[in-house]
Amino acid sequence: MENQPIGRACFVCGSAAGVRMFDQAIEVCGLGPVRYGLRCCDGCGLVLQDPAVSPQTMARQYAMFSNYLAFGDGDPPLSSTAARMLDCVARADLKPGRVYDVGAAAGFMLWHLRAQGWKVGGCDPSPAAVAQAKARFGVELDTGTGEITLKDHAGLDLVTMSHVLEHIYDPAAALGVVRAALAEGGHLLIEVPCLTAPEINPPGLFMMEHLNYFEAGSLKNLLSGAGFEIVDSEVTLDFFPFPVITVLARKASATGGAGLVNGFADNLRFLETYAGVDAERWRSVDARLRSALAEGEEVYVWGAGIHTSTLLTRTSLETWANILAITDRDSQKHGHRLGHHPVVEPDAALQSGRKIVISSYVSEKAIAASLGGQGVAPDRNVRLYT
Ligand SMILES: [Zn+2]
Reduced 3-state DSSP string for 239-277: CCCCCEEEEEEEECCCCCCCCCCCCHHHHHHHHHHHHHH
Q: What is the pLDDT of residues 41-51, one digit of tens each?
A: 999 999 999 99
Say yes or no: 131 and 235 in one domain: yes
Separation of 209 CA from ligand 1 center, angstroms? 20
- Mean pLDDT, rounded, for 354-373: 95
**Of the candidates 244, 261, 278, which is a domain's last residue?**
261
pLDDT of residue 365: 94
Say yes or no: 101 and 245 in one domain: yes
User: Which chain residues have CB less than 5 Å from ligand 1, an ion?
Assistant: 10, 12-13, 15, 41, 43-44, 46
| Rounded-to-integer distance, Cα 279 and Cα 96, Å | 48
Separation of 381 CA from ligand 1 center, angstroms? 45
120 vs 258: which has the higher pLDDT = 120
Count structural domains, the chain.
2
pLDDT of residue 74: 73
| Rounded-to-integer distance, Cα 73 and Cα 189, Å | 28
Looking up residue 243, the CATH number of its domain turns out to be 3.40.50.150
- 137-146, 254-263, 270-279, 355-364: least confidently modelled range: 254-263
Give, as one character, the DSSP assignment of residue 321: S
Angle at 225 between CA 219 and CA 227, to 5 degrees: 100
Question: Could you tell me the pTM of the whole model?
Answer: 0.93
pLDDT of residue 204: 87
Entry field: residues in the chain: 386
- Bridge-based pairing state of the strands 298-302 and 322-327: parallel
| Rounded-to-integer distance, Cα 165 and Cα 193, Å | 9
Dihedral sign computed on CA atoms, order 376, 368, 333, 290: negative
Q: What is the pLDDT of residues 30-79, one digit of tens each?
A: 999 999 999 999 999 999 999 999 999 999 988 887 765 656 667 788 89
Say yes or no: 98 and 241 in one domain: yes
Would you say residue 346 lies in a domain? no
Separation of 10 CA from ligand 1 center, angstroms? 5
Q: What is the pLDDT of residues 128-169, one digit of tens each?
A: 899 999 999 999 999 999 999 999 999 999 999 999 999 999
Would you say residue 242 lies in a domain? yes
Domain that holds residue 24: 18-65
pLDDT of residue 237: 97
pLDDT of residue 259: 83
- Please give the helix or strand (H or E) that residue 302 lies within, else none: strand 298-302
Would you say residue 288 lies in a domain? no
Confidence of residue 316 (pLDDT cuts 50, 70, 90): very high
**DSSP of 10-37:** -TTT----EEEEEEEEEEETTTEEEEEE
pLDDT of residue 119: 98
Q: What is the pLDDT of residues 6-30, one digit of tens each?
A: 999 999 999 999 999 999 999 999 9
Separation of 39 CA from ligand 1 center, angstroms? 10
Say yes or no: 207 and 244 in one domain: yes
